[in-house]
Amino acid sequence: MKSTFSTLLASAAAIALLGGMSANAANMNDQVVPTKHNKNLTLGQIADMQPGLGTVMIEYGHRFYKAYYAARAANWELAAYQVKEMTEIQEVGEATRPEHAEELRAFEHTYLDPLNESIKAKDWNGFAANYAKAVGACNACHTGAGFSYIKYRLPTHAPESVPSVTW
C-alpha cells in the first residue's frame, strides 16, 4: 500500500511539474527579444523563422555537387570541406524538423560516411560509386516523403568555386 501511495504521489508530482513546464514553454514563446533593428520579436516568432527542410536541402544540394566536382578534380580538401558542411546544415534540419532527425542521421551514416572514407583514401572510383548510391537514396527519400517530383541530378558543369580540370 505504501508503495502504491508513493507511486501515486510521484506521478502527481511529475504531472504537476510537466504542467508547469508546459506553461513555462508557452510563456517563453511570448518572451520578447529586442533586435538591432529596433523591432522586438517574440521567441515564438524567431522559432517560426527557422529554416525548414526545403531551405536546408537547397544548401545541401549545392554542397553535394561541389563535393562531387572537387573530388573529380582531386581537390580532396575541398571535397571533405563540402561534406563536412553538408553534415552541419543537416544538423540544422534535424533541430528544426526533429520528426526527420532519425532518417537524416541514418542518411549521414549510410551515405556521407562512405563518401568521407573515399575522400580520405583519395579514391575517385570509390567516391563516384558512393556518390551514385547517395543520389539514389536522396531521390528515394524524396519519393517516400511524397515529393517524387524532386529529383536530384548532378549539374553538368563544375561550379565556379571549384577549379576546372580537363578530364
Q: For the ranges 23-37, 106-120, 131-145, which has the lowest average pLDDT?
A: 23-37
Among 126, 122, 128, 125, residue whose Cα is nearest residue 74: 122
Higher per-residue pLDDT: 19 or 156: 156
At residue 85 the predicted structure's pLDDT band, cuts being 50, 70 and 90, is very high
pLDDT of amino acid 27: 77
65, with CB counted inside 10 A (0-12, 13-18, 19+), is buried
Please report the domains of the chain, with CATH numbers, ordered by start residue: 2-48 (no CATH), 53-144 (1.20.120)
pLDDT of amino acid 167: 44
Q: Is the pTM of this model over 0.85?
A: no
pLDDT in tens, 37-83: 878 888 888 777 877 888 889 999 999 999 999 999 999 999 999 99
- Residues whose CB is less than 8 angstroms from the CB of residue 39 and which lie 6 or more positions away in sequence, other chains included: none
Average pLDDT, the chain: 83
